Amino acid sequence: MLKKTLLSLALLVLLMMFAYAWLYSVGKGWLGAGWESAAVAAGPRAAGPTQSFSYDDTAHILFGDLHSHTNYSIDAYIFNTQLVKGSGVVTPADACDFARYCSALDFWSINDHAEGLTPRVWADSVDAIRNCNASAGDPGNPDMVSFVGWEWSNSAKDDTPSHYGHKNVIFRTWEEGQTPTRPIAAQPQQMLSNLPPVLTGLLSLTDSVKDASDFGWYLQESKAIPTCPDGVPADKLPADCREVALTPQDLYRKLDEWGFDSMVIPHGLSWGTTNPLTGDFRDQLDHYDQRYQNLLELYSGHGNSELFEDFLRIGQSGDGEVYCPAATDNFTPCCRQAAVITRLSCAEPTSSACEQAIVEAVSAFVAEGDPQGRKLFPDATLNDWAGCGQLQNSFQPASMYVPRLSAQYNLALGFDEQGEPKRARFGLIGSSDGHQGRPGSSYKESNRLLYTDSKDMGREIISTDFYKADKESGGFYYTGGLVAAHAQGRHRNAIWEALSSRNVYATSGDRMLVWFDLLNGPTGDVPMGSEVMQSDTPRFRVRALGAFEQVPGCPDYTIAALGAERVQSLCGGECYRPGGERRKAITRIEIVRIRPQVRPDESITPLIEDQWRVFACPADGAGCTVEFDDPEYGLSARSALYYARVIQEPEPLIIGDPFDCEYDERGQCVRRSYCVGANAKPDNNCLAEAEPRAWTSPIFLEYP
């Protein structure tokens, strides 16, 4: 009997050793090889109604996505495994094919995380972009322009002065010798690069052994890249090292050393799951440089970062004492909801003992901070927290909203943290920030797992320090937005000029047509994004047309180019496919006026007039045109900026309402049902009625 037991134990130990060795070898990549982009599908795509809108022989409104990730972003592979999502491996060539044939974009860019990229995969990305452009037809009139770039991801979340956010770097050129030899990272390595080999090997239990082994191989390749030496100009560094710029100023300096035309686009500023919840753009203004940071990604698949709502999660008095702040109309601090949860748990809710328990619970929550204080209530459900800690009553907000990193707040600032005059004059764009190599995936609200960063059944790979808030944040993934450019042609220089001059606008995904002009500038009409010195009363005009209605399926040219099987696997069986001439109705146009600070201590809230003017539209699908002026501008003798928010008729959108409210007879939200966990089944698109929209770049009026 003893012999049998010992033999069984020995076999078990041997089996465990074999399993460990197997998982370790997979995780180390010993059975794998490096990913490489396949050849892009032959192009260009057929001309047709999918192409841009042209209102004369030279000017076009072109639609693009300047924020797309593939498996070369290490987190993207994790997201796309069978364990989490099941989307499969995607490379830059797949993204090119999707942009050309599925979403029918006019331009796009690749932006994998520089912190995980190696010189080899960077070269492969540049090569894929060159091949994508080579398939675009006539360079003077291509079907699509593909830009090369990366994402610079500063992820410090401790103190705001060390946090500079995430920024996409994009280059005008892609030819041989016209791009950097390597991307520039914000830190020596991405955190996920250091996954233990056995943990990486475990992915093979659900994903294919080849894909998991290739991922392990890529991690080892990434970890083996040495950091470039300090003090050497970027263009003189060795080819096989990882270049690092710890601050935006370092990044600009290195880009100057390379000398290629480029732009740096901040994004995801108000997304609290990757930014400090107390973040303040004022702390970053001394690192703002309009030469590079001319645009701001206001909307993406990670949500809307437009609005400034003056709220605090935890308050702090002048003497340093922390307290639970009051709720606003659109935001409830979770320390307030902690009081509600505590009262509901009391046997006698009106007793003095219950009141004391509430005081102690709120005090304990405040001491822990938000969202960490939620761990003090282990039995509370997401619905018990009642949407606290989230911006409510707004269009598809970013999760765990950070108000002092929002677009409106940034545009209202006039001074940096030292009290020195400094302003950011951003043009506004949208993009996808998708991690599945599918740029422009907002053309139909039909496939949540394929078109968004949502994870199957709520299995999010996210920081554990958010407790229950992490699972909730998984319900704030949208299909993403687009950038629309008013370009004098379809070629790259025309698009680059439109981006550089801020003659662009953001959409939440639908391809609305929008014009916003100052009619009486010193030199006549000037478009959105312009900066004008003027003292007279300004007069403006907004024109807007809704997006085309979509019909099911894909165009014949897509099926001919990709084949039916790949149309299903890459496009999800659906493509951008407008049907007929009917356009969706524009229901209203809202004008936002912001008058930037003229004193360092000037309160921001009164400077932002979110619905300064609101114009109702016929809502008949024929579009909308409004004109207005501002007599107060000259009287106030201070600079101002204006932008238009164009609202389209409501329709079901994926995560149209991230809270998925159930309302009582008084219209109060009595129960919330986030698109996570059991609610996030693969066949559930979590649709809810919402109003798609567009945001123009501001017109900046500078008072002499």
pLDDT in tens, 253-265: 999 999 999 999 9
489: which DSSP letter? S
Query: Model confidence over 424-441: pLDDT tens digits?
Result: 999 999 999 999 999 999
Q: Ramachandran region of residue 664, left (φ > 0), alpha (ψ -120 to 50) or beta?
A: beta
Higher pLDDT, 345 or 681: 345
Is 332 a residue whose pLDDT tops 50? yes
> Do 407 and 550 lie in a common domain?
yes
Could you tell me if residue 632 is inside a domain?
Answer: yes
The predicted structure's pLDDT at residue 464: 38
| Position 239 in a domain | no
Higher pLDDT, 469 or 137: 137
Q: How far apart are CA 51 and CA 247, in angstroms?
A: 39
Residues 584 and 648: beta-carbon distance below 8 Å: yes
43-52, 85-94, 136-145: range with lowest mean pLDDT: 43-52
The interaxial angle of helices 2-27 and 209-223, nearest 10 deg, is 60
Which of the four pLDDT bands, split at 50, 70 and 90, describes residue 459?
Answer: very low
Top pLDDT among 457 and 599 is at: 599
Residues 568-579, mean pLDDT to the nearest whole number: 95
Query: Which of 376, 405, 422 delimits the end of a domain?
Result: 376
> How many beta carbons lie within 10 A of that of residue 6, not counting itself?
10
* 607 pLDDT higher than 90: yes
Q: Which of 268, 271, 267 is nearest to 401 (CA)?
A: 271
Identify residue 593 by its one-letter amino acid code. R
User: Distance of alpha carbon 55 from its chain centroid, rounded?
Assistant: 30
The residue among 26 and 699 whose pLDDT is bigger is: 699
For residue 538, cis peptide bond before it (omega within 30 degrees of 0): no
- Find the CATH number of the domain harbouring 676: 3.20.20.140
Provide the pLDDT for residue 194. Answer: 78
Contact between residue 393 and residue 330 where contact means Cβ atoms under 8 Å apart: yes
pLDDT band at 47 (very low <50, low <70, confident <90, very high): confident
Residues 551 and 285: their CA atoms lie apart, in Å, by 45
Picking from 133, 86, 98, 126, the residue whose alpha carbon sits closest to that of residue 110 is 126
Are 88 and 148 members of one domain? yes
Residue 591, SS3 per DSSP: strand
- Alpha carbons 515 and 513: distance in angstroms, whole number: 7
Task: Tell me whether residue 408 is in a domain.
Answer: yes
How many C-beta atoms lie closer than 10 Å to residue 11's C-beta? Answer: 10
Decide: helix, strand or coil at residue 235. helix
Average pLDDT for residues 103-120, to the nearest whole number? 95
In a domain, 402, yes or no: yes
State if pTM tops 0.85.
Answer: yes
Residue 50: the pLDDT is 46
Report whether pLDDT(160) > 50: no
Q: Are residues 113 and 93 located together in one domain of the fold?
A: yes
Ranking 160-164, 331-335, 531-535, 553-557 by mean pLDDT, the lowest is 160-164
Q: How far is CA 256 from CA 122, 253, 260, 263, 505, in A?
A: 20, 5, 8, 11, 27
**pLDDT band, very low/low/confident/very high, at 199 (cuts 50, 70, 90):** confident
Question: Within this chain, do residues 399 and 370 fall inside the same structural domain, yes or no?
Answer: no
Contact yes or no for 442/482 (Cβ under 8 A) = yes
Regarding whether 559 and 449 lie in a shared domain, the answer is yes
8 A C-beta contact, residue 78 and residue 452: no
Q: Tokens in use for 674?
A: 């986030």
Q: Is residue 219 part of a domain?
A: no
In a domain, 252, yes or no: no
Cα(184)–Cα(19) distance, integer angstroms: 38
- The span from the CA of 118 to the CA of 221, in Å, is 7
- Higher-scoring residue by pLDDT: 236, 581: 236
- From CA 62, how far away is CA 655, in angstroms rounded? 26
pLDDT at 69: 96
CA 95 to chain centre: 17
Q: What is the 3-state secondary structure (H, E, C) of 29-46?
A: CCCCCCCCCCCCCCCCCC
Are both 576 and 481 inside the same structural domain?
yes
Residue 158: predicted pLDDT: 53
- Continuous segment of H or E residues that includes residue 438: none
Tell the burial category of 417 from Cβ atoms under 10 Å away from its Cβ (0-12, 13-18, 19+). middle
DSSP states of 165-224 as a string? -EEEEEES--STTSS-SS-EESSSS-GGGG--HHHHHHGGGTS-HHHHHHHHHHHHHHHT
What is the arithmetic mean of pLDDT over 335-344? 96
- Asked whether residue 207 is domain-assigned, the answer is no
Least-confidence region, from 194-203, 266-275, 521-530, 667-676 = 194-203
411 shares its domain with 513: yes
Identify the DSSP state of 111.
-
Could you tell me the pLDDT band of residue 84, with boundaries at 50, 70 and 90?
confident
User: Residues 390, 392, 397, 403: is their CA dihedral positive or negative?
Assistant: negative
- Given a contact cutoff of 8 angstroms between Cβ atoms, the answer to whether 95 and 87 are in contact is no
pLDDT > 80? residue 190: no
Strands 145-153 and 112-113: parallel
- Span 219-246, average pLDDT: 91
Count of alpha carbons within 13 angstroms of residue 497, beta-carbon side: 11
The total number of structural domains that make up the chain: 2
Query: Given 323, 346, 376, which residue is the final one in a domain?
Result: 376
- Mutual angle of helices 334-345 and 352-368, in 10-degree steps: 150
Would you say residue 340 lies in a domain? yes
pLDDT at residue number 259: 95
Flag whether pLDDT at 462 surpasses 50.
Answer: no
Specify whether 473 is located in the same domain as 603.
yes
Q: Are residues 640 and 569 in the same domain?
A: yes
Give me the DSSP letters along 646-672: EEEPPEEEETSSTT--EE-TTS-EEE-
Say how far apart CA 224 and CA 198 lie, in whole Å: 18
Give the residue with greater pLDDT, 59 vs 532.
Answer: 532
Which of 315 and 203 is assigned the larger pLDDT?
315
Neighbouring CB atoms inside 10 A of 550's CB total 19
- What does the pLDDT average to over 271-282? 90
CB 690 within 8 A of CB 654: no
Question: In whole numbers, what is the pLDDT of the chain averaged over residues?
Answer: 91
Q: Rounded CA gap, 703 and 699, in Å? A: 13
Together in a domain, 322 and 299: no
Residue 79 confidence (pLDDT):
82
**DSSP H helical segments within 28-88, as ranges?**
74-80
Residue 367: domain span:
315-376
On whether both 592 and 615 belong to a single domain, the answer is yes
Confidence category of residue 460, pLDDT binned at 50, 70, 90: very low
Q: What is the reported pLDDT for 35?
A: 87
Picking from 47-51, 121-125, 328-332, 427-431, which range would have the lowest pLDDT averaged per residue? Answer: 47-51
Pairing relation of β-strands 184-185 and 60-65? unpaired
Residues 685 and 606 in one domain: yes
